[in-house]
Amino acid sequence: MIELNQVLFGPAGYPADARGNVERVFQILVEAGMTSLEYAAVHGLRTNEEKATLIGHLAQKNNISMSLHAAYYISIASKNPQIRENSRQRLIKALRFAPLMGVKRIVFHPGTHGGLSSEDAHITIRDSLRSIWEEAGHLGGGALLAPEIAGKISMFGSVEQIIRLCQEVEGCIPTIDWAHLYARSQGEINDKESYLKIISQFEKQLGDLFLDNMHFHISAITFTEKGEASHKPFGGEWGPDLYPLMEIVHEVGYKPTFICESPNPLQGALYAKYLLEELEKV
């Protein structure tokens, strides 16, 4: 199985050309030189155990590192107790399925503040994640929960909020979505200095937990004063600029997994891989 101590690249979701054929998915990834795949369970984890086991087998056979993006509609601090419990159960199911699929990272958005203050939302989300880990962490086969930076400013998921969750909840690592950070910062996090500042903040406060489990989402994006508007392909007039981030990874020797979430995620992952390979030639 592929090791996580190297820079990995892959798309979010199956390549479009695979048309849902899971064997073809991994064939395309190998042919493209990809080393990672984020399984998109964004509308719920609807696969069965037999299909999940096949995915895990194919991932191992083809040396593809697996992560999973849990449902978009998770909202752990929701005002509705049923939504809170459903959110818990979705993450528990993801942990249960992780060993079958070879998944090591379960990416998710904590959701809204649920009408709570930032502190009360943190406590609610923290305690729920602790209960999830206590109940099902041992079922995950080494998989970690990976709360993600939110693109909408009103959502729970600032840098500080994600770091604090990872400090206070066993089994949690951060997912840094650089497009979301670009949108959330209104375009400010877009050069080498600002990228380094964010990475240093995670490294300083989380140490090896961050350094050994660097999981990055990348894409171009448009934004409004509320934050994220829509993901876009690389190469247009949209930010953020990916090149300075690749310079940092190359110069410092970080070993992140890059998952592309642009409208053509395989093409975007290939672009990111190309940038790093060009830097390595210098």
Residue 103: partners with Cβ closer than 8 Å, 6 or more residues away:
39, 56, 66, 67, 68, 94, 97, 143
Domain assignment of residue 170, yes or no: yes
How many domains are contained in the chain? 1
pTM: 0.96
Structure tokens at 264: 């053509």
User: Would you give the end-to-end CA distance of the chain in angstroms?
Assistant: 30
CATH number at residue 116: 3.20.20.150
**What are the E-state strand segments in 1-148?**
8-11, 36-40, 65-69, 103-108, 144-147
How far apart CA 268 and CA 166 sit, in angstroms, is 28
Domain assignment of residue 2, yes or no: no
Structure tokens at 184: 């959330």
Domain assignment of residue 3, yes or no: no
Domain assignment of residue 176, yes or no: yes
Domain assignment of residue 250, yes or no: yes
46 half-sphere exposure, CB direction, 13 A CA radius: 6
- Per-residue pLDDT of the chain (282 residues), as tens digits, is 455 569 999 999 999 899 879 999 999 999 999 999 999 998 888 889 999 999 999 999 999 999 999 988 899 999 999 999 999 999 999 999 999 999 999 999 999 999 999 999 999 999 999 999 999 999 999 999 999 999 999 999 999 999 999 999 999 999 999 999 999 999 999 999 999 999 999 999 999 999 999 999 999 999 999 999 999 999 889 999 999 999 999 999 999 999 999 999 999 999 999 999 999 987
Domain assignment of residue 218, yes or no: yes
- Residue 177 pairs in a beta bridge with 217
Integer angstrom CA distances of residue 97 from 65, 175, 216, 229: 15, 20, 22, 32
Q: Residue 131 in contact with residue 162, Cβ under 8 Å?
A: no
Domain assignment of residue 189, yes or no: yes
Show the domain range for 247: 8-281
Domain assignment of residue 157, yes or no: yes
How far apart CA 139 and CA 159 sit, in angstroms, is 28
